A = this chain, B = another copy of it.
Amino acid sequence: MNFIGNSRLNVFLWQLMKTVSIIGTGNVASHLATSLFSKGVHIHRVFGRQKKSGEELAKLCNSHFVSDWNAFDTVGVDVVLIAVNDDQIENVSAHLKIGQAIIAHTSGTVDMNVLERHSKTGVFYPLQTFSKENEIDVSVVPFCIEGSTTIVETELTDLAKALSHDVRLVNSETRKLIHLAAVFACNFTNHMWAISNQILEETNQDLTILKPLITETITKAFNSSPKEAQTGPASRNDQRVMKKQLESLQGNTLFQSIYSDVSESIKKMKNE
């Protein structure tokens, strides 16, 4: 029987018949392992250095925890997911026995070719920030997939589709740009709020006063585009307000520099 081209059936088969092992016991590893397990995927092994969290995670997905590379066999395993810190991926790859399993990492910034000593390699990158505290709806998380061959890409795509409606084939170069965009859209956005919070600490207000405004800003940006939705002193080139606000930031040259550069960039983009 040939199931190629029958994507939904392949995804279903993944859930029933396929086997995944996970390397890592952190937030990404935990969310992926438990989500895959909840979809019926068999989690063969959980590997990690942290015995306590590793054993807890293995228990959650009816798996076995190992912390010794000799005990980490990949025979009969379809995919090994490496969900460790970026700078440890190559090191983990070097420890893995050469075999038939697809070896895929879950990083936004690391080239697929750091895994190239293995024959079937890939990337399985969930574009989301995972934390212990918050439940994530994995079904809407975009998965960026890359594979060393078309067959590997199909296998990893089917695995991702078992979890999410949003699965995209993305090469390493594009994935790095997406990650860079995410740094601006999330890490830097979050820091803008951190700066706001620090400014508000000088008053008797806190960040909750800005929540309706932040929510509406998102709505407007996604209803049209952020460029069209831009408002504020820089957007209307209000020199008086910008000068006064820079003065208010006296004593914090980094905040002043951010204020100036972002204002300049808003004005420049408006005129483009």
Listed in ascending order, the chain A residues whose CB lies under 8 Å from chain B are: 86-87, 109, 127-129, 131, 133-134, 136-137, 140-142, 166, 168, 170, 174, 176-178, 180-200, 202-205, 207-223, 225-227, 229-235, 238, 240-241, 244-245, 248-249, 254-255, 257-259, 261-262, 264-266, 268-269
Cβ–Cβ contact A183 & B248, under 8 A: no
A245's partner among B180, B194, B196, B197 (CB-CB below 8 A) is B180
User: A227: which B residues are within 8 A, CB to CB?
Assistant: 194, 197
A196 touches B214 (CB 8 A): no
A58 to B248, CA, bound (A): 39
Cβ of A192 and Cβ of B197 under 8 Å apart?
Answer: no
Which residues of the partner chain B approach A220 to less than 8 Å between Cβ atoms? Answer: 129, 131, 134, 190
Of all A-B residue pairs in the complex, the 7 with the closest CB atoms, nearest first, are A187-B232, A194-B226, A193-B226, A181-B196, A185-B196, A181-B199, A186-B217
Determine the distance from Cα of A20 to Cα of B241 in the docked complex, in whole angstroms.
28
A167 to chain B, nearest CB (A): 11
Tell me which residues across on chain B come within 8 A of A268, comparing CB atoms.
254
With beta carbons under 8 angstroms apart, the residue of B186, B188, B197, B209 that contacts A262 is B188
- Find A248's partner among B142, B180, B210 (CB 8 Å cutoff): B180
Interface centre among A191, A258, A269 (most CB of B within 10 A): A191
Q: Are B205 and A168 in contact (CB-based, < 8 A)? A: yes
Contact A127 B265 (CB under 8 A): no
Instruction: Return A166 CB to nearest CB of chain B, in Å.
Output: 8
Chain B neighbourhood of A262, CB < 8 A: 188, 191, 258
Contacts of A219 in B (CB 8 A): 134
Least CB distance from A256 to B in Å reads 10
Contact present for A248 and B176 (CB under 8 Å): yes
Give A220 to B249 CA distance when docked, in angstroms: 26
24 contacts between A and B (CB under 8 A): A109-B233, A128-B216, A137-B212, A142-B209, A168-B209, A184-B192, A184-B196, A184-B199, A186-B232, A187-B231, A187-B232, A188-B232, A189-B193, A189-B214, A190-B220, A190-B230, A191-B262, A194-B269, A195-B265, A211-B222, A218-B218, A257-B257, A258-B258, A258-B265
